[in-house]
Each structure stands twice: as structure tokens, then as C-alpha cells.
């Protein structure tokens, strides 16, 4: 069984092509300067920052509602103090 070394592009052509691909990949994947990297990070995280601000606003609104509901419950408890036979439960959520 003899090997036919004449078919296909050959080892040398594969070595050169592989080297070129490696150099190209190295250039494309090389680290960027700090300023460019920071700009890219800021660009990619801008959407995350906006979403975090939205969620923080929603959380503030929920906390505000919870505080108002807590004040209403405390007021009902204070008004019903000593009135243990009242049918209203001071811990029931306020209907809006």
C-alpha cells in the first residue's frame, strides 16, 4: 500500500492557510485599548442600567404603597382599640 502524496493541496498549503487563519483570528481577538473597551462596555450595559432604573422606580412605588397601607392598618387598629367585638379585621388589606 503506497500513499499518494500528490493528491490534494498538500501539507505545505495547509500549513500556510492555517497560519494565515491563526494570524487573522489573533488580530481580531486581540485586546482593545482601555478607552475603547470602556466605551464598548458602557454601550453594552446601557440597556441593563435603564432596566435597573425602571425596576428601582417600580420598587419605590411598591414601598410607598406598602407604607400607606401600613399607616391605614395602624390607624384602624388605633381607632378600634378597646373595641374587640368589632367585625372588621384591622389586618385586612385596604381596598382601592
Q: Mean pLDDT across the chain, nearest whole number?
A: 76
Q: Would the pLDDT of 63 be above 90?
A: yes
Average pLDDT over residues 52-64: 90
Q: Would the pLDDT of 8 be above 60?
A: no
Question: Angle 79-81-83 (CA atoms, 0-180°, nearest 5)?
Answer: 100
Q: Is residue 2 part of a domain?
A: no
Q: Is residue 55 part of a domain?
A: yes
Number of domains in the chain: 1
Q: Is residue 59 part of a domain?
A: yes
pTM for the full predicted model: 0.42
Question: Which residues have C-beta within 8 Å of that of residue 80, sequence separation ≥ 6?
Answer: 86, 88, 90
Question: Angle 29-20-6 (CA atoms, 0-180°, nearest 5)?
Answer: 150
Domain hosting 64: range is 36-80+92-96
Q: Which residue has the cell 367585625?
A: 87
Percent of the chain with pLDDT over 90: 16
Answer with the residue of higher pLDDT: 58 or 88.
58
Average pLDDT over residues 51-61: 88
Amino acid at each position: 500500500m503506497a500513499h499518494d502524496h500528490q493528491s490534494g493541496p498538500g501539507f505545505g498549503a495547509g500549513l500556510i492557510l492555517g497560519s494565515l487563519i491563526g494570524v487573522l483570528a489573533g488580530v481580531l481577538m486581540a485586546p482593545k485599548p482601555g478607552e475603547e473597551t470602556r466605551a464598548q462596555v458602557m454601550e453594552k450595559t446601557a440597556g441593563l442600567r435603564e432596566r435597573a432604573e425602571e425596576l428601582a422606580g417600580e420598587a419605590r412605588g411598591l414601598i410607598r404603597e406598602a407604607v400607606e397601607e401600613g399607616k391605614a392598618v395602624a390607624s384602624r387598629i388605633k381607632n378600634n382599640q378597646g373595641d374587640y367585638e368589632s367585625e372588621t379585621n384591622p389586618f385586612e388589606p385596604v381596598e382601592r
